[in-house]
Amino acid sequence: MGALEVVRTGMMAQDRSGGTHTSRTILLQELRGLLGAVPAGADSAEYRNAVIEQNVLGKKTLSSRQRTHRYLRELYALDPRILLFRALRDLWDVDIEAQPSLAILCALARDPSLLATSAAVLPEAPGTRVAATDLQQALMNRYQGNYSVAVANKVGRNAASSWTQSGHLVGHIGKTRAQATCRPPAVAYALLLGHLEGAVGEGLFDTFWARVLDAPLGVLHEQAFTDSQRGWIDFRHGGGVTDVGFSFLCRGPMGETSL
């Protein structure tokens, strides 16, 4: 993916360290509050105004409102000109149960530090203990020498909270792996992420993004069919051939197809 494509889609290069999780989690509650307060057709300035000027998230100080807006923008872009956010916004309101998965998928695509911790979470079976230190170690393994122990520890704690918000972990002090809820809007979004990375056909169901959904292939196919019925994606599967298109989610800002 070239530099211009990175800007347009909103997917970040994952060969660098850093990211919002050095300071915060995926902020699912704040994202829900903001998207519930701002109409779907809003531009980036309206999201900024809602958080900072109108204080729709109820932050106590101007500095906390400014920081919250910055972190939400880093994680989700908050700009309908960026494909990752526009697609998330298209799918957000239709199924509240899908929102945690939509949030973690978008955050993973935009935050390298959170993405690195997935190696300590996704391969584990439900019921397995997963500590924040496991996430810390996964980060340090991925980016050797890039983080101090103190910063990596903070990322581990924040990421553990984010994976709990998404439903992949449960528990307060001691966390264990759980099976996240998989819903059709999240399947459409995960397939889109795979498409943006170059996967096609049946290969879209075997990407990292599809694995985040915690669902077997048969369920993913069933929910992709539901997505197609609702017009979110184009999906045909039969005779050993799988064809998936994204004419709706990849349309341009004025409705034209942009991919």
Which 3 state secondary structure label does DSSP give 170? strand
- Regarding whether 147 and 132 lie in a shared domain, the answer is yes
Residue 251 reports pLDDT greater than 50: yes
- Token pair belonging to 224: 């992709």
Instruction: Provide DSSP, 209-259.
Output: HHHHT---HHHHHHHHHHHHHTTSSEEEEETTEEEEE-TTTTB-TTSSB--
How does residue 18 score in pLDDT terms, banded at 50, 70 and 90? Answer: confident
Determine, yes or no, domain membership for 35: yes
Determine, yes or no, domain membership for 253: no
CA 164 to chain centre: 14
Quick: pLDDT tens for 135-144: 999 999 999 9
pLDDT at residue 172 in the model? 86
The lowest-confidence range among 154-158, 189-193, 224-228, 252-256 is: 252-256
Instruction: Please list the residues that pair with 201 across neighbouring strands.
Output: none
Strand 241-245 vs strand 176-177: parallel, antiparallel, or unpaired?
Answer: unpaired
- Regarding whether 192 and 142 lie in a shared domain, the answer is no
- C-beta neighbour count of 229 within 10 angstroms: 11
Domain that holds residue 78: 3-84+95-177
Give me Rg for the CA atoms of the chain. Answer: 18
Instruction: Provide DSSP, 66-124.
Output: HHHHHHHHHHH---TTSHHHHHHHHHHTT-GGGHHHHHHHHHHHH-HHHHHHGGGTTTS
- Regarding whether 209 and 154 lie in a shared domain, the answer is no
